Amino acid sequence: MKLSMGVGEIGGKPVDINDLIAQAKRAEADGFATAWMANIFGIDAMTALALIGRETSRIALGTGVVPTFPRHPTVMAQQALTTQAACGGRFTLGIGLSHQVVIEFMLGLSYAKSYTHMKEYMAVLAPLIRSGSVSYQGSEYRVNANINVPGATPCPILLAALAPKMLALAGSEADGTITWMTGPKTLREHTIPTINAAAANAGRPKPRVVVGLPVCVTEQTAKAREFAGQMFQIYGGLPSYRAMLDREGVEGPAGVAIVGNEDAVSAQLHHLAEIGVTEFLAAPFPAAPDDRESVERTRTLLVKLIQKGV
């Protein structure tokens, strides 16, 4: 299992382009496999990663994730291929639906047919990225287009998928999935077998399973989980994540955070590798507000595990 690092806001502190580049350079120097960046309401992730790609040489770069509804699939493909060219072939495009509260209440778009939207979106996006051409007639998209980005190679597409139908789509049409707030029991019993079966049935290679979770190395386990519950509270109220937390049998995000001393966290990460997770996206968090020691302790452990080949 590869170990990767999220770049962007740390503990709610906004960052600028220079901060992002510095974070990615540090992640590369530390040996992390990928620097993943979310695309929320600040800096555009693909634009930032294109710049980061010019400032780094080895580390892979990826979006975790870009919402599909606000961008036409031809626009998404064009920007992804441009970012891939800027990164020298190290870019992975992670896409997702986002949430009803964002798509309908903030952007004024319909979220009613989210699965149909993503199925048709992939029918346009995937051919454009993989071959540069698409001819598709559907209910939401009717596209005849070509894209040619000099220097670009096809980039992998990961689809943020939680429910069975979306996981099946990720396995049959994308190159894998990237998850957030999904615990080990759910990954083992639901996520991984569902996407692997879909890929096998479609004759596609075994999919990538990138799993993002909060992680904190500390002796103050109870205190850290309490703070995780506060820091990541919003995710417990979003229906898609709530469904995964309920499936896991935990009260909220604190229940899936990876917390403990070095031995405990190492054991939890090894368990993820054993159940079929291909890449762990670390989101280090402090055991308490302004506690930088636990964040650095977490990073130190992750670097040691990389060196050992976890």
How confident is the model over 185-222, as pLDDT tens digits? Answer: 999 999 999 999 999 999 999 999 999 999 999 999 99
pLDDT at 11: 56
Band of pLDDT at residue 9, cut at 50, 70 and 90 = confident
- 154, exposed or middle or buried, with CB in 10 Å at 0-12, 13-18, 19+? middle
Q: Cis ω on the peptide bond leading into residue 65 (within 30° of 0)? A: yes
For residue 292, is pLDDT > 70? yes
For residue 10, is pLDDT > 80? no
Q: What is the secondary structure of 123-135 as a DSSP string?
A: HHHHHHHHHSEEE
**Dihedral sign from CA coordinates of 252, 184, 190, 117:** positive
Q: How far apart are CA 271 and CA 269, in angstroms?
A: 5
Structure tokens at 17: 């382009």
According to DSSP, the residues that pair with 91 across neighbouring strands are 61
Taking only the tens place, the pLDDT of each residue in 34-65 is 999 999 999 999 999 999 999 999 999 999 99
Cβ–Cβ under 8 Å, residues 217 and 245: no
Band of pLDDT at residue 179, cut at 50, 70 and 90 = very high
pLDDT at 14: 81
Q: What is the value of pTM for the model shown?
A: 0.97
pLDDT at 139: 96
Q: What is the DSSP letter of 13?
A: B
